Amino acid sequence: MAKISKLEAAKRQLDAAIRMWFKNEDMLAIHTVSRAAFRVLFDITKEGDVKKALDTHIKKVGAARFNEETNFLKHADQDPGAAIDENFHVFTEAGIGMAIGLYKHHDQKLSPEMVSFLVWTHFMRPKFYDLSEESNKYAEEWRKNSNTDPNKIEGQERMRMFGDAILHWTKLNWSKLAASHHS
């Protein structure tokens, strides 16, 4: 049996969280798996611009607030009567995006799941996410091959279903896409 590195473990957790996100699975499970990946990636990231940027964000939000949902899901002894807002999907989505950024810091070869999530966020949240040149090429490739107008998709469930379609298309075309964008 081959050994699994911390980076590989985080990649697999992150990919699983993205697949669950696009399948509209339980947000609590998605948050737990994606935050586990984020934490591993954050911990293995040495000092530098990426780590400083995330540290700055965490300090701005406040460590307690940044970890509120994660701690709620991990610890019952601290506040057994606590409750979280059902709309914490926003924090989960942002956490997935931050984890992808950390992963890319360690390995420039993103998975189909990660690329699909970035393309999806580009279409669904254009004011919040900037794509790298490579990811922008994937988005343009999707746009050329799809009849779906992302601007007409309404509701969280349908938005994530659109992401699942992007992921499915990306996996079907991954060999061709990866070859043309990595050469």
User: Per residue in 134-164, pLDDT tens?
Assistant: 778 888 888 888 899 998 999 989 999 999 9
Using CA atoms in the order 65, 8, 46, 32, what is the torsion angle rounded to 10 degrees? 10
- Please give the pLDDT value at position 19: 98
- Please give the pLDDT value at position 69: 58
Confidence bin at 177 (pLDDT 50/70/90): confident
- Looking at 107, 137, 166, the residue that finishes a domain is 107
Please tell me whether residues 120 and 55 are part of one structural domain: no
pTM given for the model: 0.82
Residue-range definition of the domain harbouring residue 5? 1-107
Please tell me whether residues 95 and 183 are part of one structural domain: no
Question: Which range (3-12, 160-169, 170-179) has the least confidence?
Answer: 170-179
**Count of the separate structural domains present in the chain:** 2
Residue 3 has pLDDT above 90, yes or no: yes
Please tell me whether residues 173 and 162 are part of one structural domain: yes
- Looking at 88, 107, 126, the residue that finishes a domain is 107
Confidence bin at 82 (pLDDT 50/70/90): low
Extract the tokens encoding 171: 């996996």
- Please give the pLDDT value at position 183: 43
DSSP-assigned states of every residue in 89-143? HHHHHHHHHHHHHHHHHH-S---HHHHHHHHHHHHH-TTT----HHHHHHHHHHH
Average pLDDT over residues 89-116: 89
- Please give the pLDDT value at position 61: 63
Please tell me whether residues 125 and 147 are part of one structural domain: yes
Buried b (16+ CB within 10 A) or exposed e, 98-122: bbbbbbbbeeeebbbbbbbbbbbbb
Comparison of pLDDT for 72 and 52, the residue scoring more? 52
Average pLDDT over residues 31-46: 90
**Residue carrying structure tokens 């059902």:** 86
Average pLDDT over residues 85-95: 77
